[in-house]
Amino acid sequence: MSSVQQLQATVDALAAKGKGILAADESSPTIAKRFDAIGVESTEEKRRAYRSLLLSTPGLGEFISGVILFEETLGQCDDNGVPIPELLVKQGVVPGIKVDKGKISLEGGELGDEITVGLEGLAERLDGYKKQGARFAKWRDVYTISQHTPSQLAIDENAKVLARYAKVCQEAGMVPIVEPEVLMDGDHTMEQCAKVTEAVQHAVFQALVQEGVTLEHILLKPNMIVPGKDCAKQATPEEIAHETVKILRRTVPAAVPSIHFLSGGLSDEASTEYLNAMNQIGRHPWELSFSYGRALQHPALVAWQGDAANAKQMQAALYKRARLNGTARYGRYTPDLE
């Protein structure tokens, strides 16, 4: 199979109808916070035990097309000694890998502007990840809305980084998930979120085209258009759906096969409800799907409590959320399904 055929096969698998992506790529500090919330110490063995139980959920492949893994997990095995990527393949799920190295303050930008790092040595790392079984990658850049941010410099520089990452991935035969996340943190309005997101996505696609990235072989992982979590005026699922789709139609070329939203601090139910409302609007040029982390895992973590004896309840909790989001992919979710 040629490199182009490989990329197409991966895209087709990830964008499959009724399915979405599970983000299980929390960095060590992030998963430590999640474990703290349930009173579990974050050791390498605990992380391995949790993720291997999570990813061996029976029937996971019915609603999950791919899983984004953290580098540590890519090299781990389940309780039976099966490598995690192999475990996923047996479930009919495509293994992927988070490849960015986190964010730092942007030199020359406004206070609060950040840029993501990790391009150095990326091609060599991708080669190693591919040998371990990964078929796609993910890179996240973040934008904070405040009186001064994001600056135009932050928008432009982050777009260039995302485009360069995507090009390196495609040259390595791996599908890039491009994740420009406009954060929910703050008291900004829905209109401000829409304005910033539109500017960010315009810049990202301009940079992708300039870098020579094949748009048919990428996936976009954006935020939804929502008011800041501290904004006095919140919005209905229908308002969020219409505003999000409007901005996507202005900024995302029809060549992009699938858009996999991040949950970005939304509740489990809200993430599902908003996705459902978007898929009820009508036909779109792209698939509208999900790539949720906490919004898929939270009920499973609570059920697990660090105890393998709770495996069945934990897996049932993940399966339920995956199924509900799979239903939202068709616009058929209703709250009574909860």
Q: Looking at the annotation, which residues are catalytic?
A: 179, 221
Q: Is the peptide bond before 58 cis (omega within 30 degrees of 0)?
A: no
Residue owning tokens 């309840």: 313
Token representation of residue 146 = 């405040």
